[in-house]
Amino acid sequence: MREDMTASGAGEGGKTFRLHNAVIPARPLEPALYLVATPIGNLSDITLRALETLAGADVLACEDTRVTRVLLDRYGIVNRPYAYHEYNADEAGPRLIAALDAGKSVALVSDAGTPLVSDPGYRLALLAIAAGHRVVPIPGASAPLAALVGSGLPNDAFFFAGFLPSKDKARRDRLAELAQVPATLLFFESPHRIAATVAAAAEVLGDERPACVCRELTKTFEEFRRGTLGDLAAHYGDGHTVKGEIVFVIGPPGEAAAPEAEDVDRLLAALVKDMSAGKAATEAARQTGLPRRDLYQRLIDLKGGDAG
């Protein structure tokens, strides 16, 4: 049945939210699409700005109205949530854009964490931008960032890769593609696949690469299991029952050992048979990571001062 997305929350109780015993009025929101981060487990991780936005929005869209209702009830918010998810996005998306066109404020939440991160909210944001509407992020909880800072792995550069493929070959191919990314890798994973994923990562990336399985973040049974990929593969391969939501974090690759001089000379000699010295030096630099200028000079030396 089609739902009418009219302004809500102004009825019983008005546009307010509750903190402990205090009822706080929500200030009016300007027309825009608000992307509101919500807790990933502990409901106390909500921000004041998020509460005010959820209470004050003319239209509140969410993945699962039952999940969002738990959060709204906790903070005394009477705004009515409307479903927006991957199965109804083609219908619900244009109606949310129509609400924006009519000058309403629209808030979007996912079941947990930051909207648009591995959920269909990305499509709605694109529609809003294309229609000329403001898109306003309301920052807050994020499972990948919580896992990153709790893992103990380098965080100066990181790469979030969402979910790995479920099929073994595709999963290994994707890990191989990411093997040399100079950053800590973060993945979402399900509990029934984590053993296979850790085992594949150990085989593709190497047993000694550091990693951490972060489970049930911010919840009662929060766990950070740290170790090498080999250690983790042995642990989960023992048939341990795993429950809860998981972020799998893998440390960056170590620096590769410099190739031996004899190996570099053999590579240059092979390449220069089929290409000019300049191109051979460029290709050798790509394969070895050594400076092109040094490789070109080595070619000159090998050819007795004439690079040809």
pLDDT confidence band for 245 (50 / 70 / 90):
very high
pLDDT for position 129: 97
- Segment 192-228, tens digit of pLDDT: 999 999 999 999 999 999 999 999 999 999 999 999 9
Residue 27 in tokens:
């200030």
pLDDT confidence band for 260 (50 / 70 / 90):
confident
Match 């929101």 to its residue by tokens.
29
Nearest to 106 by CA among 87, 81, 73, 130: 81
- Segment 12-48, tens digit of pLDDT: 447 999 999 999 999 999 999 999 999 999 999 999 9
Task: Answer for the pair 159, 128: CB distance below 8 angstroms, yes or no.
Answer: no
- Segment 108-125, tens digit of pLDDT: 999 999 998 877 789 999
The overall average pLDDT reported for the chain is 91
Higher pLDDT, 294 or 304: 294
In the 8-state DSSP scheme, what is residue 45?
Answer: G
pLDDT for position 255: 65
Name the pairing type of β-strands 184-189 and 106-109.
unpaired
The reply to whether the predicted model has a pTM over 0.85 is no
pLDDT of 265 over the 70 cut: yes
pLDDT confidence band for 305 (50 / 70 / 90):
low
Q: Hey, what long-range contacts does 300-305 have (CB within 8 A, 24 or more apart)? A: 302/265, 302/268, 302/269, 303/272, 303/277
Task: Answer for the pair 106, 61: CB distance below 8 angstroms, yes or no.
Answer: yes
| Cβ neighbours around 68 below 10 Å, total | 24
Measured CA to CA, the distance from residue 282 to residue 44 in angstroms comes to: 55
Task: Answer for the pair 75, 17: CB distance below 8 angstroms, yes or no.
Answer: yes
